[in-house]
Structure 1
Amino acid sequence: MQINDKYDFKAIEQRWQQRWEQETTNKVSHQPGRPKYYVLEMFPYPSGRIHMGHVRNYSIGDVIARYKRMQGFNVLHPMGWDAFGLPAENAAMKRGIHPASWTYENIDYMRGQLKAMGLSYDWDRELATCGPEYYRWEQQLFLKMLERGLIYRKETTVNWCDDCQTVLAREQVIDGTCWRCDQPVLPKTMHGWFFKITDYAEELLADLDKLGGWPEKVVTMQRNWIGKSTGLACDFKVEGTDQTITIFTTRPDTIFGVTFMSLAVEHPLLKTLTAGKSQEAQVRTFIEETMVAKQRASLDQEVEKRGVFTGSYCTNPFTGERVPIYAANFVLMEYGTGAVMAVPAHDQRDFEFARKYDLPIRVVVQPEGDSLDPVTMTAASEGPGMLVASGAFTGMDSLSAQQAIIDHAHQAGFGRPHVTYRLRDWGISRQRYWGAPIPVIHCDSCGIVPVPESDLPILLPGAGEPKGSHSPLHQQEAFIATACPRCGKPARRETDTLDTFVESSWYFARYTNPGLDTAPIDREAAAYWLPVDQYIGGVEHAILHLLYARFFTKMLRDLGYLSVDEPFTNLLTQGMVIKDGAKMSKSKGNVVDPNELIQQYGADTVRLFSLFAAPPERDLEWNAQGVEGASRFLNRVYRLVVQNLSCFQQPAAVDLTALNEPSRALYRKTHQTIRRVTESIESNFHFNTAISGVMELVNLATTQTDEPIDPAVQRETLETILTLLFPMVPHFCEELWAISGHTRQLHHTSWPAFNIEAAKEDEITIVVQVNGKVRAKLQVPADIDDQTLRQQALSEEKIAKLLDDKSPKKVIVVQKKLVNIVL
């Protein structure tokens, strides 16, 4: 092999990428009996080109994959494309082409970009969610879920963008406008399909305790999103009718303080309550205004509390009192029952509403040491206390009274203990083209009829044509018209497509055998590979994708496809890439193109910078000088190895008894570095400290010494540098490994072990403080015990003078770091 005296990254990276592809170096198969490791980065949407966030995310995953292979694991590291969705549809419309053409062109381009980074994916497992070979199995899973009662269709009020002609998720409404087109969003009542994720609410909540390898922030976000509450469900009879309003409260101890009832504007009883009453028109107008305002409010916006009397009353079953019923804009239909018993003395929202509309305020819980007066109160008292004016429960403390009141309601037959969740069922209907068609048929005679599995996949019309029709399915009569599979009469296909989050909820399981053509998931392969050992992606997916993936895993387990309860054992949420004080984005005009960096510096330099600039969980601040520094470091290592190739001709074994001091120091530093890099990766994937450790070793290896370095030590040091850096900069290290005469690739080389004795420092420096101020420094053996260290500190000359034969009040020893003497 010809050896250049300069690091030619373009030639080196091209050469090794071609070789890895030709030799299918990263291809993997499941091998029962061999320890596996499944590392996965969240797959990308094929937008057209990768960005620096991708570079960072995929570099992290690649280091882990390569490191685990070197440790002897059978590593699965796949890649694919989250390829359905409205952005592709809109982009294709602007360009006058089909979404499939636009998507697959982007996939081809981005695949080339990822390969240029040297990422060690098993490309034979590549999948695209927009391919019929993927979504046919999603359609089959839909049918299995429908059969199990996990899917239903109902009429609901949705966020509707008339410009995009589709439903929007609540999170996609920004200041009352569509996040894509900035047009006003309106409420719309329509039918939609729902997954019964709430059937798994308790298990999803309980199993959060199993996720010890997840960031606590993500676990907390999911716990709050699921939002379990326990309390009382209680029925209030509507005056003059046989209807009841059921409320749910977590504060049954306040039920004697109810002075009005508040209903969400979506509550189904409102029409009945106002029918024929003088308030009917006013309530109808209020409902319409509130529905529009809700669509246009941001998620965290505090709205002015407003309401209107319905003209109807209900009865408090505990007191027999007549309670006026209001429609109120602050009551959520999605939480509890959509009806709230209003206790203004002990709930701040109710308090503000009561003051605004001059409604009664009744104190029923007196805080300890206080005497609340409803006339002079300026805010609700929401804490515990002693019950007053609460019938037989008066005099009880509020916490004890809660269970007693629940028990009484249950025995009396008008209430019961109840558990509710903030989590709502998952609406999966989308009214666009570029998504997986929902496999059901509507028949006037038979109702909703599942498509027979033998007829799957239900293909998107025109998807195989470059400029085929891609208008929303409800506008494509040729697609809609069909025959009922039960009675044979004319029928209509479902025209909604699946939410794209459905595809990303099970792709990790499909990766275990993506070529399987008889079932969605290979049970045997999935049992071997799952769960994913390390998942990597942004924290912004905490309560959507990550929650849906957990739900799907449990559902697939219950359908018999999987044998695991959770999809991801460990989760790493990497930080963003920041430039000029903001996240890199086209809209901010602060994007750095990875292609240009790779052309100028090479993929390994870009990878090294993205790994070294910050710990993976922190935001990475873009720094052009940092890229230059990474390039200089690699060139320095290149020169170090090339200029010392002769050492690789020496025997590999080191004779420790014959080493001079510089050789002994380098040998010790080499093994300390192996330990440091290994611990940095194993403990928290802090590649920045791992790389820093290798840099320190390179510094020592390039330091001139009075005595020559033992060739065997030098060889071991250089081999260690290349081995430790290989997961970060694979092309570079494979090239130097080959140049130095090795015939077995680093890819197939084991991760080095360190000599525990050699990695120990002979001596360490200990700081001695007196009352927190540094007064001396000691050079002591690295293995010194605390008692000996304490004695040496107290007897040190400077310290002894300060003590002046007096006994210290306290001596604090921080092992191997410092001694603090308190006088």
Structure 2
Amino acid sequence: MTSPASPAPGSDELPFRYTPQLAERIELAWQDEWAQRGTFWAANPEGALTDGEDRHAASGAQPFFLMDMFPYPSGAGLHVGHPLGYIATDVVGRYRRMRGDNVLHALGYDAFGLPAEQYAVQTGQHPRTTTEANMATMKRQLRRLGLAHDERRSFATIDPGYVRWTQWIFLQIFSSWYDPDAERPGGGRGAARPVAELVESFASGARPTPDGRPWAELTPAEREDVLGEYRLAYVSEAPVNWCPGLGTVLANEEVTSDGRSERGNFPVFQRSLRQWNMRITAYADRLADDLDLIDWPEKVKSMQRNWIGRSEGARVTFAIGGVGDANAREVEVFTTRPDTLFGATFMVVAPEHPLLDEVPAAWPDGTKDLWTGGHDTPVAAVSAYRTMAASKTAVERQADARSKSGVFTGHLATNPVNGELVPVFTADYVLMGYGTGAIMAVPGGDQRDFDFARAYDLPVVFTVAPDGGFADGFEEAPDAAYTGDGLVQRSTATTTAGDELSSTG
């Protein structure tokens, strides 16, 4: 008799040909074997989770943790971009496992989100039904890829146990405040402390309330407003990408360059909404400094530093309405170059800035026509500009930063170093979510401010000679100021290249 694995007499067929069918049988057999043996189970030092032979982690084994980016189970299954990353981490995990390390390779499913919601709206099917079916498909595909995940450690962000612990973590953050003077266990100052301790300090009078009233006289709402200025998790008004067509807020990455939603192609608008925020600025220094302790590629560290966005400088307060004005308000700006304050000839606030909720009823004397945008009153100019800016996303506003647009708000601010009144503009290249939402414009030291000043015929005062030389029109007059009518020689001080002025402009 002829063996089934052998070719028939006289046949040209090769024995044991490696066909797709044979490959499938071999792979499925070994995948079943790995699952039965628990080959990829990572053992804990103690407890219920052991390796496939019911052993706990050996005392000398080096723990090594790998976690892939969670796939989002919104489609019918994996796409090619998923295994592109998973295979790389799997190679690392197998290498470390062969070295004797106790490798924990975990994977989960990011099951919340807009795609599932929209699919449910379109089909009428509950999002849990769709999501769980997609996860089952993905798990089958991941198994077929032969990846060394410990399936016991797999979870989804919709699992009640996961939600429970994320809510617990949030409550710990919400119930904490950052004390810059607290001593850290590892050395240095600045640490989170319970809000209950903050309440005790207010109640005892050791820490005064903002308006000086005793803590006991504040209403519960007033007390919470005070604590909200300290909590690490707090609610505030902030500009967002609002998409009415989807009924939700979108991240910048979900908005196209045309200002429309990536999903559904609906228009997106800038709107200020009350939302939860994290006070990461309180510990930005620690976030940036501790990057030096992480074994990451420098490119990734650089991206993180840019995201944290730590800047060293000073906060400067400008009085709005003039010195001695009983109704004067204040606007705070952050600057990395407080030494250039003498060159601040105007201010710019974001269209969402609360200063613009009230503007003068009429234009002040000396207002130039090109500042007003063709409107009869500051109220009309600001209202029209805010409506226009709301139709742009933050991405569009940054992309259009070179195309300067803005209007005079009718407000005048007092430069704190020389007492001169400077006009306050609003322009969409200033974002409310960055810094204080207001900038002091020093056109003699910043190209963006210089472009805006030339476009609106605003003064330019040089306080520091720029490294790259002066802009067009200033090469022959480094000690000059642009007044809107041309170059005039400065009379209060002279300077050579690189020297800084200590007098007014």
Q: TM-score, normalising length from structure 2?
A: 0.70
Query: Which residue in 2 is equivalent to 1:206?
Result: 289
- In the aligned structure 1, how far is the partner of 2:435 from the partner of 2:87? 45
Query: Which residue in 1 is equivalent to 2:48?
Result: none
- In the aligned structure 2, how far is the partner of 1:275 from the partner of 1:296? 32
Deviations 1:228-255 (A, max 9, x none): 2222322222212332222222233332
- Classify 1:379/1:329 alpha carbon distance in 2 versus 1 (closer, same or farther; 3 Å): farther
- In the aligned structure 2, how far is the partner of 1:220 from the partner of 1:68? 27
Task: Indicate the SS of the match to 1:178.
Answer: coil
- In the aligned structure 1, how far is the partner of 2:233 from the partner of 2:407? 36
Query: Contact 1:17 / 1:115 at 8 angstroms: preserved in 2?
Result: yes
Query: Contact 2:346 / 2:440 at 8 angstroms: preserved in 1?
Result: yes
Task: Indicate the SS of the match to 2:246.
Answer: coil
1:51 maps onto 2:79 in alignment: yes
- Classify 1:53/1:368 alpha carbon distance in 2 versus 1 (closer, same or farther; 3 Å): closer
Q: Please, which of 378, 396, 399 is the counterpart of residue 297 of structure 1?
A: 396
- Classify 1:259/1:188 alpha carbon distance in 2 versus 1 (closer, same or farther; 3 Å): closer
Task: Indicate the SS of the match to 2:460.
Answer: coil
- In the aligned structure 1, how far is the partner of 2:283 from the partner of 2:303? 17
Q: Please, which of 244, 247, 254 is the counterpart of residue 172 of structure 1?
A: 254
- In the aligned structure 1, how far is the partner of 2:433 from the partner of 2:478? 26
- Classify 1:389/1:50 alpha carbon distance in 2 versus 1 (closer, same or farther; 3 Å): same
1:266 maps onto 2:280 in alignment: no
Q: Please, which of 41, 45, 59 is the counterpart of residue 68 of structure 2?
A: 41
CA drift of 1:300 comes to: 3.2
- In the aligned structure 1, how far is the partner of 2:88 from the partner of 2:465? 57
Query: Which residue in 1 is equivalent to 2:91?
Result: 63
Matching of residues 132-171 of structure 1 within 5 Å: 132-148=160-176, 149-171=231-253
Q: Identity of aligned pairs, percent? A: 43
CA drift of 1:391 comes to: 6.8
Matching of residues 368-407 of structure 1 within 5 Å: none
Indicate the larger mover: 277-286 or 172-181: 277-286
Query: Contact 1:245 / 1:339 at 8 angstroms: preserved in 2?
Result: yes
Query: Which residue in 1 is equivalent to 2:189?
Result: none
Query: Contact 2:398 / 2:429 at 8 angstroms: preserved in 1?
Result: no
Query: Contact 2:317 / 2:416 at 8 angstroms: preserved in 1?
Result: yes
Query: Which residue in 2 is equivalent to 1:5?
Result: 16
Matching of residues 455-494 of structure 1 within 5 Å: none
Query: Which residue in 1 is equivalent to 2:181?
Result: none
- In the aligned structure 2, how far is the partner of 1:140 from the partner of 1:73? 32
Query: Contact 1:253 / 1:398 at 8 angstroms: preserved in 2?
Result: no
Query: Which residue in 1 is equivalent to 2:411?
Result: 312
Q: Please, which of 417, 421, 437 is the counterpart of residue 338 of structure 1?
A: 437
Query: Contact 2:401 / 2:429 at 8 angstroms: preserved in 1?
Result: no
Matching of residues 82-481 of structure 1 within 5 Å: 82-148=110-176, 149-174=231-256, 175-211=258-294, 213-238=295-320, 239=322, 240=325, 241-274=327-360, 278-294=377-393, 297=396, 299-366=398-465
Deviations 1:644-664 (A, max 9, x none): xxxxxxxxxxxxxxxxxxxxx
CA drift of 1:285 comes to: 1.5
Q: Which residue type is aligned with residue 82 of structure 2? A: H
CA drift of 1:313 comes to: 1.6
Q: Which residue type is aligned with residue 146 of structure 2? A: G
CA drift of 1:198 comes to: 2.4
Query: Contact 1:83 / 1:129 at 8 angstroms: preserved in 2?
Result: yes
Task: Indicate the SS of the match to 1:229.
Answer: coil
Query: Contact 2:469 / 2:475 at 8 angstroms: preserved in 1?
Result: no
CA drift of 1:305 comes to: 0.9
**Which structure 2 segments of 5+ residues have no match?**
6-14, 46-58, 177-230, 364-376, 481-488
- Classify 1:14/1:378 alpha carbon distance in 2 versus 1 (closer, same or farther; 3 Å): farther
Q: Which has the higher contact order (CA 8 A, sep 6+)?
A: 1
- Classify 1:285/1:371 alpha carbon distance in 2 versus 1 (closer, same or farther; 3 Å): closer
- Classify 1:316/1:105 alpha carbon distance in 2 versus 1 (closer, same or farther; 3 Å): same
- In the aligned structure 2, how far is the partner of 1:74 from the partner of 1:59? 19
Q: TM-score, normalising length from structure 1?
A: 0.44
**Which structure 1 segments of 5+ residues have no match?**
382-387, 406-823
Query: Contact 1:236 / 1:244 at 8 angstroms: preserved in 2?
Result: yes
Q: Which residue type is aligned with residue 5 of structure 1? A: F
Matching of residues 740-755 of structure 1 within 5 Å: none
- In the aligned structure 2, how far is the partner of 1:155 from the partner of 1:84? 24
Query: Which residue in 1 is equivalent to 2:31?
Result: 17
Query: Contact 1:274 / 1:283 at 8 angstroms: preserved in 2?
Result: no
Q: Which has the higher helix share?
A: 1
CA drift of 1:390 comes to: 10
- Classify 1:44/1:380 alpha carbon distance in 2 versus 1 (closer, same or farther; 3 Å): farther
- Classify 1:368/1:250 alpha carbon distance in 2 versus 1 (closer, same or farther; 3 Å): closer
Query: Contact 1:363 / 1:373 at 8 angstroms: preserved in 2?
Result: no
- Classify 1:390/1:270 alpha carbon distance in 2 versus 1 (closer, same or farther; 3 Å): farther
Indicate the larger mover: 29-38 or 77-86: 29-38
Deviations 1:651-696 (A, max 9, x none): xxxxxxxxxxxxxxxxxxxxxxxxxxxxxxxxxxxxxxxxxxxxxx
CA drift of 1:368 comes to: 8.8
Query: Contact 1:171 / 1:299 at 8 angstroms: preserved in 2?
Result: no
Deviations 1:695-744 (A, max 9, x none): xxxxxxxxxxxxxxxxxxxxxxxxxxxxxxxxxxxxxxxxxxxxxxxxxx
Query: Contact 1:361 / 1:374 at 8 angstroms: preserved in 2?
Result: no
- In the aligned structure 2, how far is the partner of 1:119 from the partner of 1:323? 64
Q: Which residue type is aligned with residue 91 of structure 1? A: Y
Deviations 1:742-779 (A, max 9, x none): xxxxxxxxxxxxxxxxxxxxxxxxxxxxxxxxxxxxxx
CA drift of 1:160 comes to: 1.0
Deviations 1:764-807 (A, max 9, x none): xxxxxxxxxxxxxxxxxxxxxxxxxxxxxxxxxxxxxxxxxxxx
Query: Which residue in 2 is equivalent to 1:632?
Result: none
Query: Contact 1:146 / 1:152 at 8 angstroms: preserved in 2?
Result: yes
- Classify 1:67/1:93 alpha carbon distance in 2 versus 1 (closer, same or farther; 3 Å): same
CA drift of 1:76 comes to: 0.8
- In the aligned structure 2, how far is the partner of 1:249 from the partner of 1:216? 27
CA drift of 1:140 comes to: 1.7
Deviations 1:47-103 (A, max 9, x none): 321222223322222222222222111111122211111111222333331110101
What is the RMSD computed on CA atoms of the aligned residues?
3.3
CA drift of 1:21 comes to: 1.4
Task: Indicate the SS of the match to 2:26.
Answer: helix
CA drift of 1:301 comes to: 3.8
- In the aligned structure 2, how far is the partner of 1:356 from the partner of 1:311? 18
Query: Contact 2:342 / 2:463 at 8 angstroms: preserved in 1?
Result: yes
CA drift of 1:273 comes to: 3.9
- In the aligned structure 1, how far is the partner of 2:108 from the partner of 2:340? 54
Between structure 1 and structure 2, the one with the greater Rg is 1
Q: Which residue type is aligned with residue 286 of structure 1? A: Y
